[in-house]
Amino acid sequence: MAHCRTMGLQARQWSPIVTFTTARRFDKRGPMHDDRVFLRWNPSVPSFSHRANRSLIVAGIAWMLFWSLMVLVALEDYRRDGGTALWQPVLWETSSAVVATLLFLVQRRSSSGDDALVATPRRWFGRQLRWLPLYWFGFTPIVFAIRHGIYALAGVRYEHQPWSDVFVYEALKISVFFGLFTTIGFGLLSYREMMKERVRAEQAGALLREAQLERLTRQMQPHFLFNALNTISSLMHTDVARDELRLAQGYAAVMAERFEGRVTLAWDVDPAVLDVMLPAISLQPLLENVFKHTVGRRREATAIRVAAAVDGGAMVLRVEDDGGMLEESSAPGITVANLRTRLAALHGEHASLALVALAPAGVRAEMRLPCTC
């Protein structure tokens, strides 16, 4: 009669794997900056709860198969010894199975917090050994009480070795099985922790992919149309100021709708400059810089002023705001560097583009071009 218990795995339930993604709210004002976070089920990442449930089912089946095997072995031994009351070996093993299962459930319910110590085997095994006396002094009395009771109901006397021998024998036997199944339980818990880490890695990978997609989505600003026009118009070399202003005003109107309530625009254009030739798409990038680096980074309202006038023999084009900050140590961005290169190619040293810090705050981009106004 083998009396033992198992340190099988009791699986915890874990939340389904979700991936986080941000979605921009679109309305008549365009996409807003204050993104909201949504949860989305990612079917490509398996849920840890599914794996835990499967492990729990497997452990339960293994536990029942073990005790079924113990019953079959006891029956075979009993028949070999000439026994005829087959219910007796069945009672011996099922009583052991029921009591061992109950003690196991009590232990798991009370010590599930010890699962976190599986990474430190010495501490984990030390915590489990605290339960061994429960099996020494609880298993044998309960099992034999059940057997004596059922035997009495059947009108049969249950005979066994003296109580001192029974306690010593059962204590030694339960200790062996306790050590065996504690080791098996440690292996199951270690496997569960490994699978948990694997799911976390898969979840992190899914979140990373979502973040990469979100980053690509954020880069698709409304001014992509103007960038496409810039590519096409760059083949045309120059354009008149009137058309440049019309294009810039269209872009500014779109962005003003997007940042409604956060930007005011003022246009101060001398009619004398409307027929001056400018590098194609030279004004719109300066406005784009203001929206990108100033308006988009602050919640306060930003005032933008666009001015074009004649100063001596030159046309002066200014785009300024009242909230930007100019870092003196930073190198010019791609927009400014590209525009300076184009001005130099067209007009040499007679054209320039300067960035000026305003007081108390603000940045002015000033472009000078030769003209015969």
Q: Tens digit of pLDDT per residue, the chain (373 long)?
A: 433 333 333 333 333 333 333 343 434 334 444 443 343 444 444 455 565 567 668 777 888 888 888 888 888 888 888 887 888 888 888 888 888 888 888 887 877 777 778 778 888 888 888 888 888 888 888 888 898 899 889 888 888 888 888 888 888 888 888 888 888 878 878 888 888 888 888 888 888 888 877 766 565 455 555 565 555 555 445 678 899 999 999 999 999 999 999 999 999 999 988 988 888 888 999 999 999 989 998 889 999 999 999 988 899 999 999 998 887 766 777 888 888 888 888 888 889 999 999 988 899 999 999 886 6
Instruction: Identify whether residues 165 and 297 lie together within a single domain.
Output: no
Instruction: Identify whether residues 342 and 299 lie together within a single domain.
Output: yes
Mapped onto helix, strand or coil, the DSSP state of residue 130 is coil
CATH number, domain with residue 342? 3.30.565.10
Instruction: Identify whether residues 71 and 200 lie together within a single domain.
Output: yes
Instruction: Identify whether residues 154 and 178 lie together within a single domain.
Output: yes
* Domain containing residue 232: 224-370
Domain count, the chain: 2
Instruction: Identify whether residues 41 and 163 lie together within a single domain.
Output: yes
Instruction: Identify whether residues 330 and 208 lie together within a single domain.
Output: no
Instruction: Identify whether residues 309 and 324 lie together within a single domain.
Output: yes
Distance CA 283, CA 85 (A): 103
Give domain status of residue 13, yes or no: no
Give domain status of residue 6, yes or no: no
Q: How many Å from the N-terminal Cα to the C-terminal Cα in the chain?
A: 112
Give domain status of residue 10, yes or no: no
Residue 373, classified by CB atoms within 10 Å of its CB into exposed (0-12), middle (13-18) or buried (19+), is middle
Give domain status of residue 38, yes or no: yes
Which token pair is 23? 């979605």
Instruction: Identify whether residues 315 and 169 lie together within a single domain.
Output: no
Give domain status of residue 11, yes or no: no
Backbone angles phi, psi at 340, to 5 degrees: -65, -40
Give domain status of residue 124, yes or no: yes
Give the residue from 183, 218, 253 where a domain finishes: 218
Instruction: Identify whether residues 199 and 336 lie together within a single domain.
Output: no
Residue 31 · residue 24 · CB < 8 Å: yes
Give the residue from 193, 218, 243 where a domain finishes: 218
Give domain status of residue 278, yes or no: yes
Instruction: Identify whether residues 164 and 182 lie together within a single domain.
Output: yes
**For strand 352-357 and strand 238-240, is the pairing parallel, antiparallel, or unpaired?**
unpaired
Instruction: Identify whether residues 40 and 127 lie together within a single domain.
Output: yes
Which token pair is 302? 């930003």
Distance CA 290, CA 256 (A): 12
The H or E element spanning position 1 is none
The Cβ of residue 190 has, within 10 Å, a number of other Cβ atoms equal to 14
Distance CA 28, CA 31 (A): 9
**How far is the CA of 341 from the CAs of 162, 234, 336, 344, 352, in angstroms?**
105, 13, 9, 5, 10
Instruction: Identify whether residues 261 and 213 lie together within a single domain.
Output: no
Residue 336 · residue 287 · CB < 8 Å: no
Give domain status of residue 9, yes or no: no
Distance CA 57, CA 352 (A): 77
Give the residue from 218, 237, 267 where a domain finishes: 218
Q: Which position has the token pair 């199944």?
A: 181
